[in-house]
């Protein structure tokens, strides 16, 4: 269905849509009068972009079943979510806050996360460089060098410094790899100023708030991180968990869309007030569909699991492992997501 990318994750991008429960179905009535229905038992999460409505009965159903409803602006900025309180685990929460103040624990966990992130960046760019004739040996060396330095770092600040260095050279390679229309100079955000960064920002937001929901449902607080510094209204723990996924999920989807000519430069517009580069509605649908396909795709890429697993299930697995790490206060329990 053009507005429903999967059996269980529902994206509503048409303004003025109305969601209700009709017997055993979740019913979406669009402004045009068109209706789509899906068995309500198959719904796992709902993401609403722009202005749409949900009946009280539908809201109650989502709260009872623990279905996360996330609200975004039509451009993909996150507003908040509807979530029941059935997941609260005060014992785990106290342990998490205690460990977030433990410097040694934070440094050890941060090293694992950032080494995995840089490893994944290297795997992704090398994959794209195989079919290209540009020489990026200097930039690749700088990324590898930053990864080595992470191992020797003594503080979270140092680790983040090396992470910043690796990312700078990594994005330089990505920019060299994309065609003229999508060329960009480095990562920029709040707001993104070019089409490439616009796609990255939207993808990171989607994955971040999928992680946010998983963390909450595992009784962890998304705002008490180990790697990122506390910042008002910023879910630092979701940011921590996100690092391993950036290149694997979002950057690779963006590169694939651009290199496969699946999205055109005409799908973007600039907001005069903020200078932000944003996606038009059809471009948003193309991106959400591609992202959802990626999250559903299966790969055997986790070194410590023998089964094929979808990326979405791997996110759940990663958060479950973090819960165990917190419960036991033992960094060795955490195995980061690394691709080969």
| pLDDT one-digit tens code per residue, 38-81 | 888 888 888 888 888 889 989 988 888 888 888 888 777 788 78
| Residues 6+ away with beta carbon under 8 Å from 268 | 195, 198, 277, 278, 279, 280, 283
> In the chain, which residues have pLDDT < 70?
1-7, 86, 230-233, 300-306
- Residue 300 exposed, middle or buried by CB count within 10 Å (0-12, 13-18, 19+): exposed
**pLDDT per residue as tens digits for the range 202-220:** 999 889 888 988 898 888 9
Please, are residues 117 and 245 in contact by the beta-carbon 8 Å criterion? no
159, 148 Cβ separation under 8 angstroms? no
Sign for the pseudo-dihedral over CA of 221, 197, 76, 264: negative
């Amino acid at each position: 269905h053009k507005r429903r990318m999967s059996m269980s994750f529902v994206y509503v991008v048409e303004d003025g849509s109305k969601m209700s429960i009709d017997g055993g179905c979740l019913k979406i009535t669009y402004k045009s009068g068109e209706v789509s229905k899906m068995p309500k038992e198959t719904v796992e999460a709902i993401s609403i972009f722009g202005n749409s409505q949900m009946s009280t009965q539908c809201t109650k159903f989502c709260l009872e079943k623990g279905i996360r409803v996330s609200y975004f602006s039509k451009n993909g900025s996150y507003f908040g979510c509807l979530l029941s309180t059935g997941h609260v685990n005060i014992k785990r929460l106290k342990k998490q806050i205690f460990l977030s103040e433990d410097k040694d624990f934070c440094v050890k966990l941060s090293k694992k996360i950032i080494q995995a992130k840089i490893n994944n960046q290297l795997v992704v760019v090398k994959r794209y460089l195989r079919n290209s004739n540009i020489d990026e040996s200097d930039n690749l060396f700088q990324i590898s060098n930053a990864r080595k330095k992470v191992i020797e770092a003594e503080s979270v600040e140092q680790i983040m410094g090396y992470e910043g260095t690796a990312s700078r050279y990594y994005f330089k390679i990505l920019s060299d790899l994309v065609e003229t229309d999508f060329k960009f100079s480095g990562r920029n955000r709040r707001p993104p100023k070019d089409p490439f960064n616009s796609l990255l920002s939207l993808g990171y937001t989607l994955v971040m708030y999928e992680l946010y929901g998983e963390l909450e449902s595992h009784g962890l607080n998304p705002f008490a991180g180990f790697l990122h510094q506390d910042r008002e209204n910023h879910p630092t723990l979701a940011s921590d968990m996100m690092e391993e996924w950036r290149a694997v999920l979002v950057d690779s989807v963006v590169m694939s869309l651009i290199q496969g000519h699946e999205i055109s430069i005409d799908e973007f517009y600039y907001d005069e007030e903020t200078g932000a580069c944003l996606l038009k509605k059809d471009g948003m649908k193309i991106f959400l569909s591609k992202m959802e396909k990626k999250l559903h795709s299966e790969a055997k890429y986790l070194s410590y699991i023998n089964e094929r697993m979808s990326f979405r299930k791997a996110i759940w697995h990663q958060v479950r492992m973090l819960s165990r790490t917190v419960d036991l206060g033992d960094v060795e329990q955490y195995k980061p997501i690394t691709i080969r």
